[in-house]
Structures are given as C-alpha cells and as structure tokens.
Amino acid sequence: MKAVVTGGAGFIGSHLVEELIKKGIEVHVLDNMTAGNLYNVHPLAVIHTEDICSTEAKHIILKEKPDVVFHLAAQADVARSIYNPKYDADVNINGTINILEACHEASVKKIIFSSTSGVYGNLQKELISEEDLAIPASYYGLSKLTAESYIRLFYQLYGLSYTILRYGNVYGPRQTAKGEGGVIAVFLDRVNKGVPLSIHGDGEQTRDFVYVKDVVQANINAMEQGHQETIQISTAQKTSINHLLEALTQIHGAKIDTIGKPPRTGDIKHSCLDNRKAYQLLKWHPSIDIFSGLTETYKFTHKNQSLG
C-alpha cells in the first residue's frame, strides 16, 4: 500500500508518517518546509520538497499513484489569515483544489482531510455537533470550510472518496510555538525560556485539547472507515486557559508568571466538540487525558530545549 502525506514534515503529519511506516505502508511526504522540519520525518519516508499549490506536487501524485492521500498541509495561523486572507486562501483553497485534481487524475482511492473546529466560529453551544451551523470567525476557518465543500463536490462529480476530520485543539511533541502553534506549544516555549505567559482576556475561554497521537489514530482508522463523512476528532472535554495554567504549574513544579492582554481578533471564546460520531463510525476514542498529554509534551519540550 502507498500513501502521500501533504504536510508530512509538520507537527501532526510527521507523527502520522511514523505510524503509517510502522504499518508497512510506503509513504511519500509532500512538504514545502514552511512549517515542517526534515528532522521530524521518519528516515524511511520519501520526501518531496514541494508546495501543494505547485504543478510539481500534482505530478508527484500522478507519478506515484498512491492508494490514499492524507491532506494535512495548510496555512493554519489564525492571526496570519486575518492580515493576509489572500495567502490563506491560496494555500488552503487553491492548494486543496490542486491536490484534489491530482487525486482524481491518479485514481486515488481516498483522500483524508484535516479540518478544524474553527469552521464553527463563535457558536454559542456547550457541545458542538457535526450538524451544527458553521459560521467561521476567521479567514482560516472560512478557507478550511470552503476546502471541505470542494472535497464533497469532487466526490459528487468524480466519485473521489473522502473523510473530513474536524480536529479540536491538537497538541503534543514537535508542535512549534510559531505559525500554527497552539496555546500549549506557546506556553511551554515561554516556560522553558523563563518568560511570562500572555493570558488574553479573562483566561476563561475554553478549548477541546486532543493529543496528537490520538489524532493520528483517527487518521489511520479513516483509511477503512467513515467514508463520505465529516467527523469531529476531540475529547468532548472543556479546558479553560486558566485550568491549563494550573496544570502546567503543577507539572513545572514552580510558579509561572503571567501578563494580562486584550482578547485577540478572530479568536473563539468557547470550543468543545461532540465525538460520538467518531466512536460510532471510526471506532475511535481519545486515549490520552489532558494532564498526561501535557506532561509528555512538557518532558519533550524541556528535553529538546536543553539539547538546543
């Protein structure tokens, strides 16, 4: 079996590449290294340093004719999408179209797309389901939602099978504090540097934090299940930024200084995703709780900071 992973040198992508190779799958990585790092990539993976918007990327898929394409490459920085919506759309919409066209022409059996809870915007619900209205509050959320629509249309027009996975807030080892880095990566980077943490707003905003290895397992399960479905990958547990700070202080074993800042434009106040559909259709459930995942990520970041 052969797979292409776009963004395979990045945070989630590199973990996915490792698991696919463990399963004996031939893996080709498409990554322009904007956010990726060659150091992250398993040595048995074939690396193609190409942009997903390029003709070369399309030619690689046509040449390799993979059975499955995992499309993770994206512009994933909410703030950057706000001040540069054109670039965001070029990568997340046009890049996805380029990959879809290649998949169709190469007779790829299935595309598995990494989407986001950001498509829902500031939906005022305790627990969001896949059937809820998606009204993005950022251009990033809008571009990912638009990419989803193209994927569904490619199935309707050409029969290209898909699974769309909408992630909660993914965290774990290898996530950088730059670009697409989530709040946990940013906090850990600052803790290791001895710099105060910035708390935007009152710190009571909540997120559904899901560990990267759980996300990888969802992608693996989607190869054989969840066809033509949009499925949320989450813990269905709310964690506030203040609670995150408390847990991190406990793991760190010392007081962590903070600085209060205004809320950020485009940020979502609360986000918690129902994961029952993932249980039912993917036979998937999260296995790592927030404290355990945070501890593992802290150890990894602390070790790498020391080595660096």
Instruction: Decide: 48 and 66 in contact? Cβ < 8 Å.
Output: no
259-265 — which CB contacts under 8 Å span 24+ positions? 259/196, 259/197, 259/198, 259/199, 260/199, 261/198, 261/199, 261/200, 261/201, 262/200, 262/201, 263/200, 263/201, 263/205, 264/79, 264/200, 265/79, 265/82
Which residues fall within 8 angstroms of residue 16, CB to CB, at 6 or more apart? 5, 8, 70, 72, 216, 219, 220
Q: Which amino acid is at 20?
A: L
C-alpha–C-alpha distance, residues 79 and 95, integer Å? 20
Q: Please name the residue that has the structure tokens 């809008």.
A: 142
Q: Is 3 helix (H, G, I), strand (E, B) or coil?
A: strand
Residue 8: name the closest of 117, 152, 112, 132 by CA: 112
Tokens of 204: 């009571």
Q: Please name the residue that has the structure tokens 């998606």.
A: 134
Tokens of 264: 């950020």
Catalytically annotated residues: 140
Find how far residue 85's CA is from the centre of its chain: 19
Residue 172: name the closest of 214, 232, 208 by CA: 214
